[in-house]
Structure 1
């Protein structure tokens, strides 16, 4: 699939948390021009911004703020510029995260709390299916039984954003179950995110990233 959409310039935000090289390779495979950078202006100018994330919610938020990533995400979204969050890069888009009893503020792009998985086996590590709505653009062309790679101990178990204006498009929310259901992916205007790792999900992940790139 490499070279399919060479005009689409994407930035993988380098703020010290995330598998930036894996994300770069996956986006290149999907056909994008990719730069890894923490430079604010370069990231603002890109067609698409990918925000990775691994580790603890609070640590990722600290790193993001130090890199002005909170401003970057907010400014891009205010201008309708696409952002894709992955793993903890998705979790920090919610209002708050709770780890080991301590609460940390997130970016608050979506209301709700990210908390510990409600499962007997934690972390959730390995391949799992996703229950995506039929109108999902992110999962377009991917069969219902497709498996994606997860590795996490926390998740958003509820979706709390309410659409109050008739002209607004309701977000497309996809779910996965590990012990109990949790949010696996969201498509909300220019802001998309996945709890799983598309860059580690083989051909399925490449197709999913291609679907995102085609919206840029």
Structure 2
């Protein structure tokens, strides 16, 4: 039986989950943080973190192979749920990466960065390096409890070649510019998902994770 306040990090065999666990433990305030591939543990946890790294078709295949799909969908409907990087993208309906279907929890699609984009001045076209890798600003497009104590325009660490395009722009709570403006944070009800890696984003990333632990949607 899980202790009250347990945070489950979903393990489907992709990505460095221990770095997410270690970052959460720094701000967990006594909460148990478990890495698990067990659907029942995911269902029993009070909070769920859904990281992702790698190619979306491979990740979706592993989720189904391990019988985790329904547990993820159910958790995303009824408890505080944090998607990280590919864990944001898989919440949507479809991705251009491998023409893959996502979980369909959020309406919208995932697109690859174009070969060319607009520079910071908003007019000059330039070739984009893909993946988008390194520190970049996240501009908060509306208030959300997960932004508490985090300044608008704070810099987070990104590594990705695809970005989410929500069907409903009201889901967008953060935007980042990299050749174009893209949704770097999305929220709906008890779901908050962010394209960057908070576990690699120093103090500001730890603050986001701390906010998640205290979030009562």
CA–CA distance in 1 between the matches of 2:6 and 2:176?
31
Aligned-residue offset at 1:43: 1.2
Quick check: 1:11 aligned with 2:8?
Answer: yes
1:1-216 alignment runs, 5 A limit: 8-31=5-28, 32-78=31-77, 80-99=78-97, 102-118=98-114, 119=117, 120-156=128-164, 158-161=165-168, 171-216=171-216
> Which consecutive segments of 4 or more residues in structure 1 shift more than 6 A?
none
C-alpha contact 1:93 1:110 (8 A) present in aligned 2: yes
Encode CA deviations 1:131-178: one digit per residue, 9 max, x unaligned.
11341211111112311000001111x32137xxxxxxx545211110
CA–CA distance in 2 between the matches of 1:183 and 1:171?
9
CA–CA distance in 1 between the matches of 2:35 and 2:161?
27
What stretches of structure 2 of length at least 5 have no aligned partner? 118-127
What stretches of structure 1 of length at least 5 have no aligned partner? 1-5, 163-169
TM-score by length of 2: 0.86
TM-score by length of 1: 0.87
Higher helix content, 1 or 2: 2
Pairwise CA RMSD: 1.7
